[in-house]
A and B are shown apart, each in its own frame.
Chain A
């Protein structure tokens, strides 16, 4: 029905071209990283002299590999656990209770997501130094400072995901339990929390990934003896660029992708992101 078949065809071609460019932009860096991890040479130059899988056997040679990975996993696990402990109750309060200032608190709890990571990092660092000077208690370089900082960026995700999950749950089941004589605490523990299971699992995995991947904020809070995994990759890349770092990153990406596919089984990712 359109009047100008020639221009319509040109337009369709243009749109198709834009789609191809967009997909290429998203895929090329990931495919390149995987491709480079197979190069036989110690430096990345095209074309490579051959291909090898041996870099994957030498992951442990990556500087500070064990220490950095250990710190990242420990901090991410603790931050996930703590953010669930404070975030899940907060989301229940936000959805199931009405109280003055509720929408303001909702905004406050999500606000760490809108402040630049470098600003939060610098702010936390100066606060910690300030406390160190006042109390003479060493804080920088301890796990707990990193965990507190990561708590700040994981909690908004837990709240966001659990709120999204809770509003979909049928409230009448909780009301029925209350009518049958269950105390509010019992309703919470035996009805609401079990019903939120999927939302909580998704929130936990999200929190873990967000904490594990963070660079901007963590940068300010690390010390020479304690460094996180993504930052060790960043520091390595500042001076060296070889197939070893590419294979390290490919393994990391594969683990994250597997976690995400696991989340998708519980909660459709497209519904919550």
Chain B
């Protein structure tokens, strides 16, 4: 055990720099932001030192801001549910496929994860915008100009197309872990496909549904580029609103309060759903 002390020293030398960077550039800014969120905004000097819950109160009492939070939350919930419904069949097919197409399929799902959200938003602008495909098709059918841009539909479909690959990958890895023989056993005992799904596959896939659901929910709550480009000024969500409060209105204390409200809402909802899934899972 003579090597124990130097080993601890080596370990801290190895991990120290990374820990320091994260502490300095994550923990410290968040602490400062928390302090700023209690300051007062002033038209002339922008910020006055104070210790007041005013910014938080302003958010929760103004229907405009609570409305934006509610919109963000509803979009996040709806896209998460749709991600599940649309993602599960694809994930299942990928997980149970044995051909060499499988690795190509998985690669095709992974590639978009690293392609910026602006690329996807740009594509949807061409489909939904004025002069876009849907507008042109509608015009050809005798209708006169429609633009689906700057609606909840546009933002929802944009977020859905970005988040779907995350859901599929999470579900696929969990379904792969489910022994296919369990399904064969259920089959040979006479369970039809819907029953097999409800009583065998779904309960076993529940942890993956939880993880994937939480992941895409967080991504949707924090989305910036998609609501910015597809929602515009007419359809507001939390992240673009925070940026506007900071860059256009120069109201840092209020922007800081929005940041904490966004972060705490997301984290607490995540924690609650995590607990629910865990309890359900244990009950099985």
* Segment 60-112 of B: residues with Cβ below 8 Å from A: 85-90, 93, 103, 106-107, 109-112
The verdict on A31 contacting chain B, using a C-beta distance below 8 Å, is: yes
Contact of B17 among A89, A105, A273 (CB under 8 A): A89
List of A residues within 8 angstroms of B26 by Cβ: 111-112, 115, 120, 123, 152
The reply to whether A123 and B259 form a contact with Cβ atoms under 8 Å apart is yes
Give chain B nearest CB distance to A102 CB in angstroms: 8
The reply to whether A2 and B193 form a contact with Cβ atoms under 8 Å apart is yes
**Can you name the residue of chain A whose Cβ is closest to the Cβ of B31?**
A123
Give chain A nearest CB distance to B204 CB in angstroms: 18
The reply to whether A257 and B111 form a contact with Cβ atoms under 8 Å apart is yes
The verdict on B228 contacting chain A, using a C-beta distance below 8 Å, is: yes
The verdict on B213 contacting chain A, using a C-beta distance below 8 Å, is: no
- Looking at chain A's contact residues, the main secondary structure is helix
Give chain B nearest CB distance to A169 CB in angstroms: 16
- Chain A 230-273, CB-CB to B under 8 Å as 1, else 0, gives 10011001100100011001001100110011001000111001
Give the distance in Å from the alpha carbon of A127 to the alpha carbon of B12 in the complex.
Answer: 27
The reply to whether A22 and B164 form a contact with Cβ atoms under 8 Å apart is yes
* Segment 1-43 of B: residues with Cβ below 8 Å from A: 6-8, 10-15, 17-19, 21-23, 25-26, 28-30, 32-33, 36
The reply to whether A213 and B17 form a contact with Cβ atoms under 8 Å apart is no
Give the distance in Å from the alpha carbon of A105 to the alpha carbon of B8 in the complex.
Answer: 14
List of A residues within 8 angstroms of B85 by Cβ: 18
The verdict on A70 contacting chain B, using a C-beta distance below 8 Å, is: no
Contact of B18 among A87, A97, A237, A249 (CB under 8 A): A87
The verdict on B256 contacting chain A, using a C-beta distance below 8 Å, is: yes
Q: How many A-B residue pairs have CB under 8 A?
A: 266
List of B residues within 8 angstroms of A108 by Cβ: 19, 22-23
**Can you name the residue of chain B whose Cβ is closest to the Cβ of A112?**
B26
How many residues of chain A have a CB within 8 Å of chain B?
Answer: 91
Give chain B nearest CB distance to A234 CB in angstroms: 6
**Can you name the residue of chain B whose Cβ is closest to the Cβ of A46?**
B136
Give the distance in Å from the alpha carbon of A220 to the alpha carbon of B114 in the complex.
Answer: 21
Give chain B nearest CB distance to A36 CB in angstroms: 5
The reply to whether B25 and A32 form a contact with Cβ atoms under 8 Å apart is no
List of A residues within 8 angstroms of B88 by Cβ: 18
- The listed residue with most B CB atoms (<10 A of its CB), out of A1, A92, A216, is A216
Q: Which residues of B line the A interface, CB within 8 A?
A: 6-8, 10-15, 17-19, 21-23, 25-26, 28-30, 32-33, 36, 85-90, 93, 103, 106-107, 109-127, 129, 131-133, 135-136, 157-158, 160-161, 164-165, 168-169, 187, 190, 192-194, 218, 221-222, 224-225, 228-229, 239, 242-243, 246, 252, 255-256, 259-260, 262-263, 266-267
- A-B CB contact pairs (8 Å), 6 listed: A19-B93, A29-B122, A44-B129, A112-B26, A241-B125, A270-B169
